[in-house]
């Protein structure tokens, strides 16, 4: 029994050429004739349907799962241009993937979670390893989705969920999800992994609190209307520069929300970080990807390079501790787009990637820059922002 996997990357601007080039590179890298499964991440400069069509044709119609990202990454290279595609092709009689999709997150994230659960429930056996999940980064309410998913599955043990929220090169207008031949938005693309293997994962963020604690005084689901009895956007403006006030994308690049980490997530960090993808100027409100309760204390936070660097070492150490003497077969990196070119210069970004990859034994490696990361902490599936999530199959 064996698992073969290869990774390919293309920067070609022609979507048909890019798809063919990346797939051919992945097949050659893995010594694969025809893959059993394909992961695909791409940036949004391409005609998305044409790109997916090329990848599907070049991979022989193998089942496919993925989404758009702010950038893509493989071992030794990261690209945040508008024209970047990465492919992981897998052939294995040890690993088994079942994939699918769900749409309508904005209207009912909980309902999408229930639908995914109903679809995967018959395929969940004792050898289920993880659910890979790629969501629309602009309309996802993770807490509602998770409640619908886990409440319907009602499993006795954790089914790890790993993945990320799709991005669109900081346009914050439309992201894309991929499932087989379909490109869609406002949904999730997923793949259930089962088989003769184990999963390792680790999560780490690099943000520090600034200023004083504030209290959310009016909210509904994942929308925050008031902080300290004032319009939420009015409070945020006190932490923004003039340029950031008029440019929301620039504002949320630099400013994030920190929530006190729940007690059951011991050892994670003092704060859970949250991104603010959309705002409503008339209502003075903004949204975050998870539920929020009135009375919750929050801090304004910003990224810190030294903490990010230390976090890279922590990620590698925790993955290696889980791997032990076992080699990784596949490695996935889901990294916040706020940790890319908007945060560090090109040479610093490359140095961080190299620092991480050099500490984890050589294996096929694929990833993308997200609008939010998904990975368990302890026995709980969690949504993260401004973090890196590493998941390894071994």
Provide, rounded to the nearest whole percent, the portion of the chain with pLDDT above 70.
100
What pLDDT sits at residue 90? 98
Q: Average pLDDT for residues 178-204, to the nearest whole number?
A: 97
Instruction: Quick: pLDDT tens for 253-265.
Output: 878 999 999 888 8
Sign of CA dihedral 302, 304, 308, 310: negative
Categorise residue 324: left if φ over 0, alpha if ψ from -120 to 50, beta otherwise.
Answer: left
Q: 123: buried, middle or exposed (CB in 10 Å: 19+, 13-18, 0-12)?
A: exposed
Dihedral angle computed from the Cα positions of residues 53, 57, 58 and 62, in that order, rounded to the nearest 10 degrees: 100
Instruction: Quick: pLDDT tens for 267-290.
Output: 788 899 998 989 999 999 999 999
DSSP state for residue 281 in the 8-state scheme: T
Instruction: Quick: pLDDT tens for 318-367.
Output: 999 999 999 999 999 999 998 899 888 888 999 999 999 999 988 999 99
Instruction: Quick: pLDDT tens for 19-28.
Output: 999 999 999 9
Q: Average pLDDT for residues 167-188, to the nearest whole number?
A: 97
Provide, rounded to the nearest whole percent, the portion of the chain with pLDDT above 90.
82
Question: Do 144 and 292 meet the contact criterion of CB atoms below 8 Å apart?
Answer: no
Instruction: Quick: pLDDT tens for 299-315.
Output: 999 888 899 999 999 99
What pLDDT sits at residue 9? 98
- Three-state DSSP class for residue 164: strand
Q: Average pLDDT for residues 5-31, to the nearest whole number?
A: 98
Spatial distance between the Cα atoms of 59 and 22, rounded to a whole number of angstroms: 10
- Three-state DSSP class for residue 306: helix
| Averaged confidence pLDDT in the chain | 95
What pLDDT sits at residue 1? 54
Spatial distance between the Cα atoms of 75 and 390, rounded to a whole number of angstroms: 13
Count of other CB atoms within 10 angstroms of residue 68: 30
What pLDDT sits at residue 7? 98
Count of other CB atoms within 10 angstroms of residue 297: 11
Residue with tokens 């008031």: 226
DSSP state for residue 249 in the 8-state scheme: H
């Amino acid at each position: 029994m064996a698992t073969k996997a290869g990774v390919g990357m293309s920067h070609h601007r022609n979507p048909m050429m890019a798809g063919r080039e990346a797939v051919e590179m992945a097949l050659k890298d893995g010594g694969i004739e025809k893959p059993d499964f394909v992961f695909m991440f791409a940036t949004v400069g391409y005609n998305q349907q044409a790109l997916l069509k090329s990848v599907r044709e070049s991979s022989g119609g193998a089942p496919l799962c993925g989404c758009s990202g702010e950038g893509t990454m493989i071992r030794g290279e990261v690209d945040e241009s508008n024209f970047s595609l990465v492919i992981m092709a897998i052939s294995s009689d040890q690993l088994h993937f079942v994939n699918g999709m769900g749409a309508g997150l904005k209207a009912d994230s909980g309902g999408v979670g229930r639908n995914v659960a109903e679809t995967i429930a018959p395929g969940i056996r004792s050898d289920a390893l993880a659910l890979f999940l790629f969501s629309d980064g602009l309309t996802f309410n993770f807490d509602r989705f998770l409640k619908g998913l886990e409440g319907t599955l009602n499993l006795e043990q954790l089914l790890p969920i790993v993945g990320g929220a799709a991005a669109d090169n900081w346009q914050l207008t439309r992201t894309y999800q991929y499932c087989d031949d379909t490109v869609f938005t406002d949904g999730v693309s997923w793949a259930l992994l089962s088989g003769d293997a184990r999963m390792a994962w680790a999560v780490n963020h690099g943000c520090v609190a600034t200023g004083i604690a504030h209290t959310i005084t009016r909210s509904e689901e994942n929308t925050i209307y008031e902080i300290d009895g004032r319009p939420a956007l009015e409070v945020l403006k006190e932490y923004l520069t003039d340029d950031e006030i008029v440019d929301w994308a620039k504002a949320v690049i630099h400013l994030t929300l920190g929530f006190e980490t729940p007690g059951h997530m011991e050892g994670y960090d003092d704060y859970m970080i949250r991104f603010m993808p959309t705002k409503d100027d008339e209502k003075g409100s903004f949204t975050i990807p998870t539920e929020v309760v009135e009375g919750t204390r929050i801090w304004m936070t910003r990224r810190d390079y030294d903490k990010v660097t230390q976090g890279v070492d922590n990620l590698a150490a925790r993955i290696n501790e889980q791997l032990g003497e076992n080699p990784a077969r596949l490695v996935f990196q889901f990294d916040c787009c706020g940790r890319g070119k908007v945060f560090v210069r090109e040479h610093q970004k490359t140095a961080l990637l190299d620092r991480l990859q050099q500490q984890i034994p050589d294996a096929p490696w694929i990833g993308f820059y997200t609008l939010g990361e998904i990975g368990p902490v302890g026995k709980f599936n969690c949504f993260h922002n401004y973090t890196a999530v590493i998941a390894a199959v071994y």
